[in-house]
Amino acid sequence: MIAYVTVGADDIVSAKRFYGSFLPALGYGFKEGAEGLSYALPVPEGERPLLPDFYVKPTYNGQPATAGNGTMIAFEADTHAQVRALHAAALAAGGIDEGQPGFRASYGPNFYVGYLRDPQGNKIALLCNNPDEPSRDD
pLDDT at 17 over 90: yes
Rg (CA), the chain: 15
Give 138's pLDDT tier (boundaries 50, 70, 90).
confident
Model pLDDT, residue 1: 75
Query: Does the pLDDT at position 133 exceed 80?
Result: yes
Is 80 exceeded by the pLDDT of residue 66? yes
pTM exceeds 0.85, yes or no: yes
In the chain, where the domains are located: 4-60+67-128
High-pLDDT (> 70) share of the chain, %: 100
DSSP string covering the chain: ---EEEEE-S-HHHHHHHHHTTTGGGT-EEEEETTEEEEE----TT---SS-EEEEE--TTSSPP-PPTT-EEEEE-SSHHHHHHHHHHHHHTT-EEEEEEEE-TTS-TT-EEEEEE-TT--EEEEEE--TTSPPTT-
Task: Please give the CATH topology (third level) of the domain spanning 4-60+67-128.
Answer: 2,3-Dihydroxybiphenyl 1,2-Dioxygenase; domain 1 (3.10.180)
